[in-house]
Structure 1
Amino acid sequence: MQPLILHIPHASTHIPFKDGYLVGEELLQQEINKLTDWYTDDLFDSPEDITIKADFSRIFCDVERFVDDQQEVMAQYGMGMLYTHTDAGQRMREVNPTLRKQIKEEYYLPHHQKLEVAVKKQLDQFGHALMVDCHSFTDIPFERDLNKKVPRPDINIGTDPFHTSQTLQDLTLEFFTSRGFSVGLNWPYSGTMVPMAYYQKNRQVQSILIEVNRKLYLDAVTCTRNRHFNEIKSVLNQYLHLIRSNVNDIFYPINNES
């Protein structure tokens, strides 16, 4: 059976080095606690699949941002590839061209290279590749969130018109709604990760974003797993099995169009 490619960009709390940071340890830890997609590497753990995980915090380098701040909408809020401000708007980090170049070349680009290689291997072996972009989100919106509508859903599904087939979207919606979860389609977050080498170029690379509301599995005060963690993990494992088992159906309409 063809494995999925699971992208886990925001689970780590590790900051490799602290050059440029202007705030103390306490405030930095507060931002880490707030912005980390806690335990998503465990929630989406799947030995059958290929996992590409960023082993550094998004506070250090966010691999899901465009490298060029001019292209990245969140850069104006201090959340580009290198975060410069806290969620409350306080200046957190001074980024000079030397620091940006170092982190881009030593962390950002190698991560994306791993992702591209994983996709290429799937294309070479199977003719297509299926990615799941694995995240979690807070029940209370961040100050910088573009969509602050509440109440927020249990599950957020993000899609791309070019890289998410209708079959993949429908399977995903049906799976979660049939189990009693409230679901937001491209709400509160939209889109899904696709390597730039294939973005808007190859429809045989399919991708879908799954964001889990942290209230379902996390104690927000202590940032520890709550008593429902294993239940949510089991649901996600069932979901991954479902789409893994339906890969041919997901790609069938695309193949017929080409």
Structure 2
Amino acid sequence: MKQDMEREGRFPSPRAVEVLAPPAVRSPLIFASPHSGREYPGELLKNSRLDRHSLRQSEDSYVDLLFDEAPHFGAPLLRALFPRAYVDVNRSRDELDPRMFADDVPKTSDSRSSRVIAGLGVIPRIVADGQDIYGRKLYYLDARGRLAACYDPYHRTLRGLIDESRGRFGCAILIDCHSMPSAGGAPFRAGEPRIDFVLGDRFGSSCAPSIIRFVEDVLTGMGYQVARNAPYAGGYVASSYGRPRSGVHALQIEINRALYLDERRIARTEGFEPLRRNMISLMERLTAFDSDDLRLPQAAE
């Protein structure tokens, strides 16, 4: 069953996000893919100095397809349909880069954020390989429209899924699914193996230790090399939603694209299906995870 959010603002698709929902929710798990959107608005293609292929360098390409069996195990999958180069929902809504705009941005904007300074704010200035997206300045009205059309529906939907899970199960476990360039999985020291997965829990603050330990054990048991919090500790979603003391746990998973993607062509390789089968196995194992100790105590009646 698919539950679509209706369009807001000027995004040209009839929907900006999609939830692949199970017939019956049987788990406090929520899977999310915020950066795998492949529907490129004509507005972006028209105003960008880059072609579609260059813009796609910022995608977590096909990550949503690695996890699209989540509903089979009683858990929803939330995915953004718009591209990360258009709006990055793994940023604060205030992370706007004033250098991008011909007019003023709100005084509340977090223009000193390290991500904004790097050109990777909520409205990105560059793609992943460092190329400027635009040949001219935008207007703040452009940003405001994008945030209303894409950012707000994504986070509204995510909050709704989390609230529903907490109400039903006493806790929510968000698995925020990403991919990293193969260069990001390079060994820390010469002679060490390539890193296949990076698990980020904001250095222990965004989810219970038992969750990251469980996922790490499953992945290493499959033969993968797994790192924690380096070089990716989790972004805005993990830091904002991960509140273990409130029963909300957020774990970011970064998958090395070398496992499944030809990064130059942005095409799936023969490694995609074996990886997908392993992610299905991971989801199956996760939905059997004993979350009793994560539940909030129920108020006395």
Question: TM-score, normalising length from structure 1?
Answer: 0.85
Distance change (3 Å), C-alpha of 1:112 and 1:202: farther
CA distance in structure 2 between the aligned counterparts of 1:162 and 1:148, rounded to whole angstroms: 25
Deviation at 1:113, TM superposition (A): 0.2
Distance 1:188 1:175 in 2: 21
Letter in 2 for 1:31: L
Please show how residues 1-258 of structure 1 align to structure 2 within 5 Å.
1-18=26-43, 21-25=47-51, 28-32=52-56, 34-45=57-68, 46-47=70-71, 48-69=74-95, 70=110, 72-93=113-134, 94-141=137-184, 152-160=194-202, 161-191=204-234, 193-194=237-238, 196=240, 198-200=241-243, 202-249=245-292, 251=294
Give structure 1 stretches of 5+ with no counterpart: none
Identity across aligned pairs (percent)? 24
**In the TM superposition, what is the alpha-carbon distance from 1:201 to its structure 2 partner?**
7.9
Aligned letter for 2:177?
C
Residues 1:83 and 1:169: Cα distance change in structure 2 (over 3 Å):
same
CA displacement at 1:173 relative to structure 2: 1.3
Q: SS of the counterpart of 1:140?
A: helix
**1:21 offset after TM fit, Å?**
3.0
**Number of residues of Structure 1 aligned to a counterpart in Structure 2:** 246
**Shift, 1:141, TM fit:** 4.2
Deviations 1:143-201 (A, max 9, x none): xxxx99577511111113333111111111111112211111012211253484x5548
Could you tell me how far apart the structure 2 residues matched to 1:180 and 1:29 are?
Answer: 33
Residues 138 and 194 of structure 1: is their aligned pair in 2 closer, same or farther, counting only changes over 3 Å? closer
Quote how far apart the aligned CAs of 1:206 are: 0.8
Distance 1:21 1:169 in 2: 41
**Residues 216 and 229 in structure 1, CA contact (< 8 A), matched pair in contact too:** yes
Give secondary structure in 2 for the equivalent of 1:18.
Answer: helix
- Cα deviation for residue 202 of structure 1 reads 4.8
Partner Cα distance (1:250, 1:134) in 2: 24
Counterpart-to-counterpart distance in 1, 2:293 and 2:54: 41
Q: Which has the larger radius of gyration?
A: 2
1: CA distance between counterparts of 2:182 and 2:129?
17
Query: Using the alignment, how far apart are the partners of 1:249 and 1:167 within structure 2?
Result: 11
- Please give the TM-score of this superposition, normalised by the length of structure 2: 0.74
d(CA) in 2 for partners of 1:134, 1:211: 7
C-alpha change, 1:216 and 1:10, in structure 2 (3 Å) is: same
Q: Provide the aligned C-alpha RMSD in A.
A: 2.6
Q: 2:199 touches 2:254 (CA, 8 Å); kept in 1?
A: yes
* Alignment partners' CA distance in 2, 1:35 and 1:89: 10
